[in-house]
Structure 1
Amino acid sequence: MTIAVYCTAATLDGYLADEDDSLAWLFAVPDADQASAFESFLDTVGVLVMGSTTYRWVVEHDDLTAHPERWRDAYGDRPAYVFSSRALPEVPGADIRLVDGPVADRWADIVAAAGDRDVWIVGGGDLAGQFADAGRLDRIIVTVAPATLGSGRPLLPRRFGSDRLAIESVSMDGPFAQLSLSVR
């Protein structure tokens, strides 16, 4: 059964990105390259889903219009659904499907693209919240970095009580703490 997993990194104070939508803070964490749980997670993923801000940052940060092979190096041949109401740059050769509208309206297509694997909600937090609002968020995996930002883009800009979230596991991965939660 295909499930939707919001898997992301966040600072200790609960931010995904700074006020400028940058993830540069994450790459400044010493020994971040020692983290290995991500590769195991990626093996379970059939399709990516991300918002336009996350997509634009990845494309610009990795210079993907000039180096489209970097997309494949990071994500393989998996299709990606990018939710956006604005025009975005394309990554040559990548299977990127620009969509808009409610998550519920795209769910059947996303599941079909995932095949027998899971849906990875890459980010941002608001898109993950839209999946939760639609009853389509099954798991949250947060890799907590030893850093704080003080402000920025929140991990999940929704209110979730403990009646909706259950911690399934906690582990260390290199310099990070990883929490896996189920969503009810």
Structure 2
Amino acid sequence: MATVYYTASTLDGFLATPEHSLDWLFAVEHEPGLEADMAAFTDSVGALVMGSSTYRWVYEHDDLAARPEQWREWYGERPAWVLTHREQPVVEGADIRFTQAPVARVHAEATAAAGERDVWVLGGGEVVGQLADEGLLDRLVVTIAPVTLGAGAPLLPRVLESDRLTLTHVQRAGQLVSLTYDVGPLPR
């Protein structure tokens, strides 16, 4: 069981535009190899953790108010924790837990719920940064697209020194490349 930040990034290290758009990602042509890897990864996941910006983007992009079944198509019956200080819309029938709890407590609850399965950290930003700060991030899987944005939401808004990162897998799928890194413990 691992806590995995599985995401996509531009060449210049951004997840989204300054307006929080991911249109750049959907415009990149890709081969089916990464879709099979994504499906295998999703099958390994027992719980989800994300911040409010990611949740709000998914909610609006997938029109979950009108089509709540879309949540289950992507995430199944897995419980999800959304770290937020604002009231959020609810996806009917989904096990989504909105919380203001410290990230370490959320991580403990998510890993307990996941059992022997992985915890998927979606989105990025402050939540993944807090997990990294606490030494609770085990793996990074980043798919890099041949796009630059010049500005936007950074891949990981923290410093992770190279001595904490071990490259374990590289996969190319057309114009995309997926890099997997194990994340080592915090320095003492």
TM-score, reference length from structure 1: 0.95
Q: Return structure 1 stretches of 4+ with deviation > 4 angstroms.
A: none
Measured at CA, do residues 170 and 127 of structure 1 come closer, stay the same or move farther in structure 2, by a change above 3 Å? Answer: same
Aligned-residue Cα RMSD (Å) equals: 1.3
Is 1:15 paired with 2:14? yes
8 A Cα contact 1:35 1:175, kept in partner: no
- 5 Å-filtered alignment, 1:9-88, equals 9-31=8-30, 35-36=34-35, 37-88=37-88
- 5 Å-filtered alignment, 1:82-161, equals 82-161=82-161
8 A Cα contact 1:49 1:120, kept in partner: yes
Is 1:6 paired with 2:12? no
Query: 1:22: Cα distance to partner?
Result: 1.4
8 A Cα contact 1:53 1:124, kept in partner: no
Measured at CA, do residues 95 and 32 of structure 1 come closer, stay the same or move farther in structure 2, by a change above 3 Å? Answer: farther
8 A Cα contact 2:81 2:106, kept in partner: no
In structure 1, C-alpha distance between the alignment counterparts of 2:116 and 2:77, rounded to whole Å: 15
- CA displacement, residues 126-147 of structure 1 (integer Å, 9 cap, x when unaligned): 2111101111000000011111
TM-score, reference length from structure 2: 0.93
8 A Cα contact 2:32 2:173, kept in partner: no
In structure 2, C-alpha distance between the alignment counterparts of 1:121 and 1:32, rounded to whole Å: 24
In structure 2, C-alpha distance between the alignment counterparts of 1:61 and 1:163, rounded to whole Å: 37
Query: 1:85: Cα distance to partner?
Result: 0.7
In structure 1, C-alpha distance between the alignment counterparts of 2:32 and 2:91, rounded to whole Å: 25
Query: 1:30: Cα distance to partner?
Result: 2.0
- CA displacement, residues 134-163 of structure 1 (integer Å, 9 cap, x when unaligned): 110000000111111111000001111111
Number of aligned pairs?
183
8 A Cα contact 1:15 1:155, kept in partner: yes
8 A Cα contact 1:5 1:138, kept in partner: yes
Q: Where do 5+ consecutive residues of structure 2 fail to align?
A: none
Over the matched positions of the two proteins, sequence identity in percent amounts to 54
Query: 1:175: Cα distance to partner?
Result: 3.4
Measured at CA, do residues 34 and 162 of structure 1 come closer, stay the same or move farther in structure 2, by a change above 3 Å? Answer: closer
- Worse-superposed segment, 55-64 or 30-39: 30-39
Q: Where do 5+ consecutive residues of structure 1 fail to align?
A: none
Q: Secondary structure at the match of 1:86?
A: coil
